[in-house]
Amino acid sequence: MKKSLFIIAAAALIISCASNDIKNDIAPTPIGFTKVYIENGTKAFQTGAYTTANFETEGNTFAVYGFKTTATQTNARVFNNKIVTYTSGLTVSENGYQGTTDWAYSPLVYWDKTATAYNFYAYAPDDSKFTGTAAFTTANDPTSFSISGFKQANTQSLMIDLMTDLTSKGGTNSVTSNIGTNDVAFTFGHILSNINVEMAVSQALKDDSNNNPVTVVSVSLESIKMDGSYAYNTTAHAWTLAENSTTAKFEGTKTGTSPDLYVFASNALKAVNPSAENGGFTAVPAMTNLLFVPQAVDAAYAIKVQYKIASEVFDKTILLSEFKNSNASLATWAPGYKYTYRLVIGPTPILFDVSSVSDWADGGIYTYTIE
């Protein structure tokens, strides 16, 4: 009798273990997005530059397109512009699954472990956060991704940093093995151009600051086109400017008391110093991380500066084509690149010297004889 009970108990234990094994094998696992990396730094939705660290900020988003292939389905869509939002330490409980995540979406989509491949594509932030529309028109074809009707904000603090995973992945974020065992990791790349303006004074002018202090009254970047549409292809990230693209002017933030407003107070600028970090240059406030649609820099693009040396006022307009890098000017802002324009205030002082004293001209000799 005891032996029979032992056999029954053992059988029950085997059944119990078998049942647990089956349950673990078919337990649904949601597709998660918890590892996001940013290529280089530019601009965040909340303000500032998108980086791997600050992208994980409450409320930041990206949107996902996803497709799976199984024995009976090819490129079946499982995500269609699905918004994923950063919410730190969120508890997720759905369809028998419970866990925590930072990048959350709803309703959850679960891994199909019978699938042979998944392909994911993403961009950030999602298109509810900016003027423009994202679309992925052909299943699992990255060349069909586009953002149409994009319009950038005219205020630096409200500018959107558009990014796409297509930039760094060459068109695909593919999962073909160990399906369902890891979260999907995206590496985003920037598709706008990042423009910055910095200023300094010459060492000679700095040395003369007691007698001739420099005050920067205004700095502006003129005639920038703000509208365009983006289309991904396998060789480039092409932007087309809107036919009637609006233009905007961006100015350095002024402080002080009216009417004596200024961008940089008297003697605030540093002297150019090649050995110092940033070369001694100071960023013009509100003119860093300006995010623009990539575009040709034509003759209309200029930086205008008004400054004072002591009490004398100077006005200068510098075409962007006059700025040089290794004696070459920049013709086009490319997507994903950061450009810095540096201005040095260093006019030549008016000096005096004597090269010679001219000789007397010969007027002739005149004689008179007294008799």
3-state secondary structure string, 167-179? HHHCCCEEECCCC
Tens digit of pLDDT at every position of the chain (371 positions)? 333 332 323 333 333 333 334 334 456 787 888 656 555 544 333 444 677 788 888 889 999 999 999 999 999 999 999 999 988 776 666 655 656 678 888 888 999 989 999 999 999 999 999 999 999 998 888 888 899 999 999 988 899 999 888 655 555 677 887 788 888 888 888 889 999 999 999 999 999 999 999 999 999 998 899 999 998 765 566 788 887 788 999 999 999 988 889 999 999 999 999 888 889 999 999 999 999 999 999 888 999 999 999 999 999 999 999 999 988 999 999 888 899 999 999 887 777 888 898 998 998 988 888 99
pLDDT per residue over 14-57, tens digit each? 333 333 343 344 567 878 886 565 555 443 334 446 777 888 88
Nearest to 100 by CA among 7, 11, 2, 34: 34
In this structure, are 160 and 218 located in the same domain?
A: no
Nearest to 188 by CA among 85, 82, 51, 38: 38
Domain count, the chain: 2
In this structure, are 126 and 57 located in the same domain?
A: yes
The pLDDT, as a whole number, for residue 19 is: 38
d(CA 338, CA 161): 12
In this structure, are 155 and 252 located in the same domain?
A: no
Kindly state whether residue 278 falls inside one of the protein's structural domains.
yes
d(CA 246, CA 77): 37
In this structure, are 186 and 198 located in the same domain?
A: no
Nearest to 57 by CA among 122, 103, 108, 105: 103
Task: Tell me if 202 sits within 8 A of 269, measured CB to CB.
Answer: no
Here the contacts of 324-329 (C-beta below 8 Å, separation 24 or greater) are: none
Residues in Cβ contact with 215 at an 8 Å cutoff, skipping those fewer than 6 apart: 262, 264, 265, 266, 307, 308
User: How many other CB atoms sit within 10 Å of the CB of residue 331?
Assistant: 10
In this structure, are 65 and 126 located in the same domain?
A: yes
Kindly state whether residue 13 falls inside one of the protein's structural domains.
no
- pTM of the predicted model over 0.75: yes
In this structure, are 38 and 176 located in the same domain?
A: yes
The pLDDT, as a whole number, for residue 217 is: 97
Kindly state whether residue 354 falls inside one of the protein's structural domains.
no
330-340-212 Cα angle (round to 5): 115
CA 310 to chain centroid, in Å, comes to 38
Residues in Cβ contact with 89 at an 8 Å cutoff, skipping those fewer than 6 apart: 100, 102
DSSP SS3 for 21: helix
- In sequence order, the β-bridge partners of residue 185 are 35
In this structure, are 148 and 47 located in the same domain?
A: yes
Residue-range definition of the domain harbouring residue 153: 28-190
In this structure, are 268 and 159 located in the same domain?
A: no
User: Which residue has tokens 């000679």?
Assistant: 204
Q: How far is CA 209 from CA 217, 226, 311, 346, in A?
A: 17, 39, 13, 12
The pLDDT, as a whole number, for residue 280 is: 92
CA dihedral 203, 205, 211, 216 (to 10 degrees): -120
The pLDDT, as a whole number, for residue 11 is: 33
Kindly state whether residue 361 falls inside one of the protein's structural domains.
no
Kindly state whether residue 164 falls inside one of the protein's structural domains.
yes
In this structure, are 224 and 317 located in the same domain?
A: yes
Choosing from 156, 190, 224, the residue where a domain stops is: 190
d(CA 20, CA 1): 29
In this structure, are 96 and 33 located in the same domain?
A: yes
Element (H, E) at 4: helix 2-26
Residues in Cβ contact with 355 at an 8 Å cutoff, skipping those fewer than 6 apart: none
Choosing from 128, 161, 190, the residue where a domain stops is: 190
DSSP 332: B
Residues in Cβ contact with 168 at an 8 Å cutoff, skipping those fewer than 6 apart: 39, 187, 188, 189
In this structure, are 200 and 336 located in the same domain?
A: yes
CATH code for the domain in which residue 45 is found: 2.60.40
Kindly state whether residue 352 falls inside one of the protein's structural domains.
no
Choosing from 190, 212, 242, the residue where a domain stops is: 190
pLDDT per residue over 59-85, tens digit each? 899 999 999 999 999 999 999 999 999
In this structure, are 270 and 169 located in the same domain?
A: no
